[in-house]
């Protein structure tokens, strides 16, 4: 029996049914199951997104007399001037128009001074004074203008760039590979790779050789090596008046003689007060991120939130606005108002700079607080910097070292970096950089400001140090508050006091001496101890109150912990737990050695002494203004009572006597009584204390007027070379600032 045949029509029907089932299944999967996914894909293809920038918030200070506000940090748009030589038809007209507008005599004079310095390094031997004078002769203003005009003319006329920096910090392997090709117009200088486009005859071939070595795409590198000059920057950050004059000249140019000139807006973070309070506010880097100070600590609040602009795309991908475009508005950054009083900050920075240079200090800090509130009135550092030109701290200057000087250079752990000691005994040094010229000659440089990027630091809050004798006031207040001693309590100041008995040598390991080895015999009062800053007297106080009480009071004053002021990089200082103290450490802690504190912590402890024994929360932010018009205001916050009002009154009277009758007398002012204490902290080398000018950290803390304190001032100098004593450095600075404040606040005399 034959099987029935399946004809072609039947096969076609079966195939069509199967295909339809597959198609329906696929459509179900795509349109139902994967609907959301493909809707998102279509949306991405159909819509574009544009970010809306948020305005960075401003940083503001006030003149608290007039209530007038001043901008410390704001935003501005300045123009960049460039030319396209390929479009310039009249180079002479462009040159003559732009030269007088963008010529900066001060800048060109600085360049000429640098030229003279370089020439001085290469003076031939045996030349006469007349020949030397001729070589090192400064150019006239007219010569500088003529040279600048010629430079502009060259730039606007050059269709090919004469030199291009291709790579920096090359490794030796890369240098060897590049040198093996011997390509004309390519040169390695040090660890940098330069190209000279006019000398390169085969751009494509040179690009093929170099591209894999320096990791630049071959096609792009070929374009760079061709050196086509289509964008030549002539000036940045143009003064708005200069920009307006250039725009006007272009508008009035009927013959297109100024074709090829372009202007481009650039956004900048701008600091109208330049260096004022720079260590407090920090700066914003090229990436728009706050660095140091308020700019860093409040970067998130200041930068705000970017918005999003959703647009539709047309058939060729261009973004266009349509009726259903969605805008997510940008939220501008918060404005921050500081507690700093501008006139006081200006005066404090001026005095601190003058005195720092007079005392030849490495650095210095000053802090003024309002004791009843914890408000920061002024906070100054020397040296400071310009946030508008924050990179200037890295500027180096050439120094001419003698062969004897070079022999004394001490290498650091970094290649090419040395320590140069002005005085080995006092550990007085600065950094020297060794650099090699193209011809292999060695030259030496140092930071122009001596400290380099250390100028960014706000050492008032970031640098703990041993406070020294200025800490004696705090320890004495503990003994008064615990009723262990009174201002007229006495001890026998008969000579050095031995501590840490050593039974093996039948003697003490250490002896506590007074700073000038003066001793005042029986009946030496606690007031006298502060007047003469007696270490022996403070050793007596320390033994009287004991380690546990001293440690507990230190904690109550806030030492060993951050104050939580509004700086993210605040240091805490260090105090070891009292169980670990030796007898010598108990004694030395009483005069500020073996513990560390920041100047802010120290000033806040003096605020406690001045404020009837109440410890307040320090703050530097007065108010934050938000984008929606709301504000957040800081209010004074009491942390705790540390000592009684009676103890506060007693220590204040003792500190008045210390200024009127003691070593702190240089801090006094003729019109008012003030309370205060000097401090001199030793520094160490190889575990041994250094002696002499340039080895110490000097300080003074005090407050006034004594019947109703309105301000606390703390001054600190790092390694002053004019004197090793706080009474001869920090105390006179305190006096100058205090005298200013009494006049500024119009406080009637009480003397």
Interval 395-440: pLDDT, tens = 998 988 988 889 889 998 888 899 888 877 767 788 999 888 877 7
Question: Is residue 534 located within the same domain as residue 439?
Answer: no
Question: Is residue 533 located within the same domain as residue 675?
Answer: yes
pLDDT the model gives residue 29: 65
Q: Which residues contact 137 (CB under 8 A, 6 or more apart)?
A: none
Alpha helices by DSSP H, 127-217: 129-135, 141-157, 172-181, 203-214
Q: What is the mean pLDDT of residues 274-286?
A: 96
Domain that holds residue 545: 460-486+526-744
Q: What is the pLDDT of residues 477-493, one digit of tens each?
A: 999 999 999 999 999 99
How big, in percent rounded to 5, are the helix, strand and coil portions of the chain? 40, 25, 35
Question: Is residue 436 located within the same domain as residue 537?
Answer: no
DSSP H or E stretch at residue 618: none
pLDDT band (50, 70, 90) for residue 266: confident
Is residue 715 situated within a structural domain? yes
Q: Select the more confidently predicted residue: 196 or 375.
A: 375
CATH number of 640's domain: 3.40.710.10
**CA end-to-end span of the chain:** 140
d(CA 682, CA 210): 57
Residue 319 in this model has a pLDDT that exceeds 50 = no
Residue 42 in this model has a pLDDT that exceeds 70 = no
Question: Is residue 416 located within the same domain as residue 530?
Answer: no
Question: Is residue 714 located within the same domain as residue 579?
Answer: yes
Is residue 73 situated within a structural domain? no
Question: Is residue 441 located within the same domain as residue 467?
Answer: no
Last residue of a domain, one of 447, 475, 510: 447
pTM for this one? 0.82
Is residue 241 situated within a structural domain? no
Domain count, the chain: 3
Question: Is residue 597 located within the same domain as residue 711?
Answer: yes
Q: What is the pLDDT of residues 684-707, one digit of tens each?
A: 766 677 778 888 999 999 999 999
Cis amide prior to 383 (ω within 30 degrees)? yes
Is residue 164 situated within a structural domain? yes
Residue 96 in this model has a pLDDT that exceeds 80 = yes
Is residue 178 situated within a structural domain? yes
Question: Is residue 423 located within the same domain as residue 471?
Answer: no
pLDDT band (50, 70, 90) for residue 21: confident
If one counts every other C-beta atom within 10 angstroms of the C-beta of residue 745, the result is 13
d(CA 175, CA 630): 59
Question: Is residue 582 located within the same domain as residue 670?
Answer: yes
Residue 566 in this model has a pLDDT that exceeds 70 = yes
Residue 38 in this model has a pLDDT that exceeds 60 = no
Is residue 71 situated within a structural domain? no
Is residue 171 situated within a structural domain? yes
Q: Which of 298-312, 512-526, 550-564, 605-619 has the lowest mean pLDDT?
A: 298-312
User: Do 456 and 279 form a contact (C-beta atoms < 8 A)?
Assistant: yes
Residue 43 in this model has a pLDDT that exceeds 80 = no
Question: Is residue 548 located within the same domain as residue 627?
Answer: yes
Question: Is residue 653 located within the same domain as residue 685?
Answer: yes
Q: Compute the chain's Rg from CA coordinates.
A: 36
Residue 571 in this model has a pLDDT that exceeds 50 = yes
Q: What is the pLDDT of residues 128-168, one digit of tens each?
A: 888 888 888 999 999 999 999 999 999 998 888 888 888 88
Q: Select the more confidently predicted residue: 323 or 546.
A: 546
Residue 116 in this model has a pLDDT that exceeds 80 = yes
Is residue 133 situated within a structural domain? no
Last residue of a domain, one of 228, 252, 284: 228
d(CA 384, CA 206): 47
CA distances from 300 to 290, 371, 458 (A): 9, 30, 20
Question: Is residue 442 located within the same domain as residue 468?
Answer: no
Q: Which residues contact 487 (CB under 8 A, 6 or more apart)?
A: 480, 525, 526, 527, 650, 653, 654
């Amino acid at each position: 029996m034959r099987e029935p045949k399946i004809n072609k029509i039947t096969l076609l029907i079966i195939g069509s049914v199967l295909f339809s089932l597959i198609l329906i299944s696929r459509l179900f999967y795509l349109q139902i199951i994967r609907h959301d996914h493909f809707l998102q894909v279509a949306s991405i293809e159909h819509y574009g997104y544009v970010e809306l920038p948020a305005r960075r918030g401003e940083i503001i200070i006030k003149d608290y007399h007039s209530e007038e506000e001043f901008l410390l940090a704001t935003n501005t748009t300045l123009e960049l001037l460039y030319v396209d030589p390929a479009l310039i038809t009249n180079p002479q007209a462009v040159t003559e128009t732009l030269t007088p507008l963008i010529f900066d005599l001060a800048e060109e004079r600085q360049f000429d001074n640098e030229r003279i310095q370089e020439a001085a390094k290469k003076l031939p031997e045996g030349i006469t004074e007349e020949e030397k004078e001729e070589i090192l002769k400064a150019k006239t203003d007219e010569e500088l203008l003529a040279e600048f005009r010629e430079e502009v003319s060259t730039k606007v006329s050059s269709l090919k760039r004469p030199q291009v920096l291709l790579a920096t910090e090359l490794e030796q392997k890369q240098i060897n590979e590049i040198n093996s090709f011997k390509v004309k117009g390519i040169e390695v200088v040090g660890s940098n790779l330069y190209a000279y486009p006019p000398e390169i005859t085969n751009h494509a071939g040179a690009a093929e050789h170099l591209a894999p070595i320096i990791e630049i795409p071959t096609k792009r590198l070929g374009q760079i090596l061709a050196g086509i000059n289509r964008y030549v920057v002539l000036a940045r950050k143009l003064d708005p008046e200069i920009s307006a004059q250039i725009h006007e000249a272009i508008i009035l140019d009927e013959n297109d003689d100024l074709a090829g000139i372009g202007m481009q807006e650039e956004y900048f973070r701008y600091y109208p007060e330049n260096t004022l309070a720079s260590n407090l506010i920090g700066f914003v880097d090229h990436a728009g991120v706050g660095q140091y100070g308020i700019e860093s600590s409040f970067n998130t609040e200041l930068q705000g939130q970017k918005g999003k602009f959703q647009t539709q795309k047309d058939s060729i991908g261009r973004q266009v606005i349509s009726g259903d475009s969605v805008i997510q508005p940008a939220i501008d950054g918060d404005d921050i108002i500081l507690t700093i009083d501008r006139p006081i900050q200006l005066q404090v920075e001026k005095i601190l700079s003058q005195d720092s240079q007079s005392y030849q200090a490495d650095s210095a800090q000053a802090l003024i607080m309002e004791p009843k509130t914890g408000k920061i009135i002024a906070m100054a550092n020397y040296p400071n910097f310009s946030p508008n030109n924050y990179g200037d701290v890295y500027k180096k200057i050439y120094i001419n070292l003698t062969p004897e000087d070079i022999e004394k250079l001490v290498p650091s752990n970094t290649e090419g970096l040395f320590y140069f000691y002005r005085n080995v005994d006092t550990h007085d040094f600065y950094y020297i950089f060794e650099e090699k010229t193209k011809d292999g000659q060695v030259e030496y440089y140092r930071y122009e400001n001596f400290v380099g990027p250390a100028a960014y630091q706000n050492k008032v809050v970031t640098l703990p140090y041993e406070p020294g004798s200025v800490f004696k006031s705090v320890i004495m207040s503990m003994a008064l508050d615990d009723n262990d001693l009174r201002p007229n309590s006495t001890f026998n100041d008969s000579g050095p006091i031995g501590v840490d008995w050593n039974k093996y040598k039948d003697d003490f390991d250490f002896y506590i001496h007074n700073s000038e080895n003066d001793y005042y015999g029986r009946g030496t009062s606690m007031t006298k101890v502060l007047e003469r800053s007696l270490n022996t007297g403070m050793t007596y106080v320390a033994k009287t109150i004991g380690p546990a009480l001293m440690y507990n009071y230190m904690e109550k004053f806030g030492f060993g912990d951050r104050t939580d002021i509004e700086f993210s990089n605040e240091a805490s200082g260090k105090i070891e737990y009292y169980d670990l103290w030796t007898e010598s450490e108990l004694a030395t802690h009483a005069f500020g050695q073996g513990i560390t504190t920041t100047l802010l912590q120290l000033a806040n402890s003096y605020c406690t002494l001045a404020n009837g024994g109440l410890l307040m929360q320090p703050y530097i932010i007065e108010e934050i203004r938000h984008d929606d018009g709301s504000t957040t205001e800081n209010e004074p916050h009491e942390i705790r009572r540390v000592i009684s009002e009676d103890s506060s009154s007693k220590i204040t009277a003792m500190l008045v006597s210390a200024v009127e009758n003691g070593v702190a007398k240089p801090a006094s002012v003729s019109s008012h009584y003030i309370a205060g204490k000097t401090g001199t902290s030793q520094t160490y080398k190889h575990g041994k204390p250094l002696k002499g000018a340039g080895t110490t950290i000097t300080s003074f803390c005090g407050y006034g007027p004594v019947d109703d304190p309105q301000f606390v001032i703390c001054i600190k100098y790092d390694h002053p070379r004019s004197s090793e004593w706080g009474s001869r450095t920090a105390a006179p600075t305190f006096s100058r600032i205090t005298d200013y404040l009494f006049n500024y606040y119009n406080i009637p005399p009480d003397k």
